[in-house]
Homo-oligomer: A and B are copies of this chain.
Amino acid sequence: MSRTDFTRYLPILDWGRRYDRTALTGDLIAAVIVTIMLIPQSLAYALLAGLPPEAGLYASIAPILLYAVFGTSRALAVGPVAVVSLMTAAAVGQVAEQGTAGYAVAALTLAVLSGGILLLLGVLRMGFIANFLSHPVISGFITASGILIAISQVKHILGVEASGHTLVEIGTSLLAGLPQTDMTTLAIGVAATGFLFWVRKGMKPALIRLGLGARPADIATKAGPVLAVIVTTLLVWGLDLSEQGVAIVGAVPQSLPPLTMPAFSPDLVSALLVPALLISVIGFVESISVAQTLAAKKRQRIDPNQELIGLGAANIGAGFTGGYPVTGGFARSVVNFDAGAETPAAGAFTALGLAIAALALTPLIFFLPKATLAATIIVAVLSLVDFGVLKRAWGYSKADFGAVAATIVLTLGFGVEIGVSAGVILSVLLHLWKTSRPHVAEVGLVPGTQHFRNILRHRVETDPAVLTIRIDESLYFANARFLEDYILNRVAEDRALRHVVLMCSAVNAIDLSALESLEALNERLGDLDIRLHLSEVKGPVTDRLTRTHFLDALTGEVFLSQYDAWASLTGGSQGPGPVPVAGR
């Protein structure tokens, strides 16, 4: 393996050699800010995933380090994120009961499977599969997930039991639990939620009005959730509220991330494989978007396939160190970037900070109410909910609107896995459907020019013996028959026709199905004594066609330009004669 190969697969060799004091300062400051932000967030997302709070801390340590070694983004912060935590809860909930040892082990397995899939896709350089998730599907999925996440946390605010993976399941479960609402918990939850909303919207302007600089005000805002954690923990401890029914985090082991062993029984693996695939792809899409946005600001490059390897390593790391599936998070990465992170070393320092927290600070969160963590989640995810995309899609294209609406409805109604799968399938089908009925125009000569335009929209010259069809789409299996049917129906009742010209200026490719359709068309038109011609065929398409017998069998000719075709077939001009492609 050459030096370049090493650098490609281990980007750390590239930036590591050039590491200096300026970079160190930037990285250290960023790490402190991100660590403070991540402590409550990691605990909260673990809760959302149905795991003990320490799993969230553990999932932030090894994965950050591994991503720092293998990833290409300078600022991406890897760890538990809301949507992946929800998907983890949905997937693991199908194979084990929440709170059991089997549940935690299944989460480890899920992380390793996701990591394996990401790694495999990266090594096979198959980053393009993320493209199959269209933006409408992603937007719809994120919005619906945000709603599901928020509503799933309401139980902690109310202090009741509830479960489920769809809007109806969670809703009915919450309604059933409503009479058992714990008023003290509710008070803490509502107060924390209200405070955190204020932190997000009103705190920074308020601090600035109080004379604080913009940057310290910004950092204080990031620390808002930590403040909520400290105040409510002290409150529960001081007033002994846990004795009165307020659910608390309780004992969290003081430990570095443990070495853990996922289970790989065939039953478990086969049950988790599809969820792992969905988590990998969704996580990758979320991560690469963030990485690309941040990299572009500094003219840095992101290699999608190397990103797959970085995220794969991070997830495998999570699976062997007590974590669960992770990915690059939007909020934390932006904070990391804005705080001045220069290299992935910032991530390593963050990991160090979180390790210290896991080792030393966990006794301090014994009395932390779960309602506070739920409030953190609710406030974070509601910013993901954006119904504006529905209006936007409606205005732009009904097909895109259909994809968004279906993804939202199906995710809310049937859960994350069915929602996102159906969204992907639907957007592929809609695309095939749209291109299976391409725009086809009958064109004629604009008098006095060499341009050809749609006969329905312009006053153009035509010839009863010559039919010219412009196809505004590549020809492939989904529309091959359409063209065949269209032309055969068009010629069926037109006995004056002697020539059909296909104007191929917008045909970027012709696949084998379309080629066979053209051959059939050529033959059938030949039976009717009509010659088939092509014009304005693109270079790559011509290259491919010349490798077949189609051009030999073609009853007509291949014209360089539509005007050549018109001039030759109608005799209406003294332009250059036909140039059969075989002669070029």
A437-452 vs B, CB cutoff 8 Å, 1 = contact: the mask equals 1110000000000000
Tell me whether A516 and B297 are in contact in the complex, defined as CB-CB below 8 angstroms, given that A485-B292, A544-B397 are known contacts: no
Taking A131-B481, A432-B132 as contacts, is the C-beta distance between A512 and B397 under 8 angstroms?
Answer: yes
Does A473 interact with chain B (Cβ within 8 Å)? yes
- Secondary structure dominating the interface of A: helix
Q: Is the CB of A511 within 8 A of B397?
A: yes
Q: Are A480 and B135 in contact (CB under 8 A)?
A: yes
- Residue A243 interfacial (CB < 8 Å): no
Q: Is the CB of A524 within 8 A of B293?
A: yes
Q: Within the complex, what minimum Cβ distance (angstroms) separates A390 from chain B? A: 11
Q: What CA separation (Å) do A292 and B134 show in the bound complex? A: 36
Kindly provide the distance from the CB of A362 to the nearest chain B CB, expressed in whole angstroms. 41
Cross-interface CB contact of A508 among B395, B472, B489, B527, cutoff 8 Å: B472
Are B395 and A292 in touch, CB under 8 angstroms?
no
Instruction: Produce 1/0 per residue, A390-411, CB < 8 A to B.
Output: 0011011101100000000000
Instruction: Name A430-481 residues within 8 Å CB distance of B.
Output: 431-439, 472-474, 476-481
Whole-angstrom distance between the Cβ of A391 and the nearest chain B Cβ: 12
B438–A432 CB distance below 8 A: no
User: What is the minimal beta-carbon distance from A339 to any residue of chain B, in angstroms?
Assistant: 19
Contact A477 B508 (CB under 8 A): no
A512 touching B130 in the complex, CB below 8 Å, given contacts A427-B477, A492-B299: no
* A511/B297 in contact, CB under 8 A: no
Closest chain B CB from A252 CB (angstroms): 40
Q: Is the CB of A433 within 8 A of B128?
A: yes
Q: Once the chains are docked, how many angstroms separate the CA of A477 from the CA of B527?
A: 42
**A5 on the interface (CB 8 Å rule)?**
no
- Give residues of chain A (127-143) contacting chain B, Cβ–Cβ below 8 Å: 128, 130-137
Q: Could you tell me the distance between the alpha carbons of A493 and B301 in the complex, rounded to whole angstroms?
A: 9
Docked-complex contact A477 and B512, CB < 8 angstroms: no
Set of chain B residues within 8 Å of A491, measured between Cβ atoms? 299
A428 interface residue per 8 A CB criterion: yes
Are A512 and B393 in touch, CB under 8 angstroms? yes
Residue A2 is within 8 A (CB to CB) of chain B in the complex: no
Chain B CB within 8 A of A573 CB: no
Distance between A205 CB and nearest chain B CB, rounded to angstroms: 25
Q: Which residues of B contact A128 (CB under 8 A)?
A: 433, 436-437, 478, 482
In whole angstroms, how far apart are the Cα atoms of A427 and B135 in the complex?
A: 23
Interface: A217 (CB within 8 A): no
Q: Assess whether B135 is in contact with A477, with CB atoms less than 8 Å apart.
A: yes
Q: How far is the CA of A548 from the CA of B400 in the complex (A)?
A: 14
Complex partner residue of A492 from B301, B438, B485, B527, CB under 8 angstroms: B301
List residues of chain B with CB within 8 A of the CB of A433.
128
A506 at the interface (CB under 8 A from B): yes
Contact call A512/B548, Cβ cutoff below 8 A: no
Q: What's the minimum C-beta distance from A149 to chain B, rounded to whole angstroms?
A: 23
Task: Indicate if the CB atoms of A524 and B480 lie closer than 8 Å.
Answer: no
Q: Chain B contacts of A393 at CB under 8 A?
A: 512
**A184 interface contact, C-beta 8 A:** no
* CA A396 to CA B551, docked complex, whole Å: 13
Docked CA distance A298–B87 (Å): 59
Question: Shortest beta-carbon distance, A294 to chain B, in Å?
Answer: 10
Query: Given B304, B479, B492, B547, which contacts A131 in the complex, CB threshold below 8 Å?
Result: B479
Residues of chain B lying within 8 A (CB to CB) of residue A136 = 477, 512-513
Please tell me if A300 contacts chain B, counting CB pairs below 8 Å: yes
**B472 with A544: CB separation less than 8 A:** no
A251 within 8 A of B: no
A151 on the B face (CB < 8 A):
no
Given contacts A292-B484, A397-B544, A400-B512, contact A477 B431 (CB under 8 A): yes
A471 nearest CB neighbor, chain B only = B508
Q: Determine whether A99 belongs to the interface, using a CB cutoff of 8 Å to chain B.
A: no
From B132, B304, B488, give the contact of A292 (CB < 8 A): B488
Q: Of the candidates B292, B396, B474, B517, which one forms a contact with A544 in the assembled complex, judged by CB atoms under 8 Å apart?
A: B396
Q: Given the complex of chains A and B, what is the CA–CA distance between A296 and B511 in angstroms?
A: 23
A33 at the interface (CB under 8 A from B): no
23 pairs, CB–CB < 8 Å, chain A vs chain B: A128-B436, A131-B477, A131-B479, A134-B477, A134-B511, A135-B480, A136-B512, A292-B485, A292-B488, A293-B524, A296-B488, A296-B524, A299-B493, A301-B488, A301-B492, A392-B512, A393-B512, A397-B511, A431-B477, A435-B474, A472-B508, A472-B540, A473-B508
Counting from the closest, the 8 A-B pairs by CB-CB distance are A134-B477, A135-B513, A400-B512, A296-B524, A134-B513, A131-B478, A472-B508, A135-B516
Given A400-B512, A431-B478, 9 other A-B contacts at CB below 8 A? A131-B481, A134-B512, A137-B477, A296-B488, A299-B491, A299-B493, A428-B432, A431-B432, A473-B508
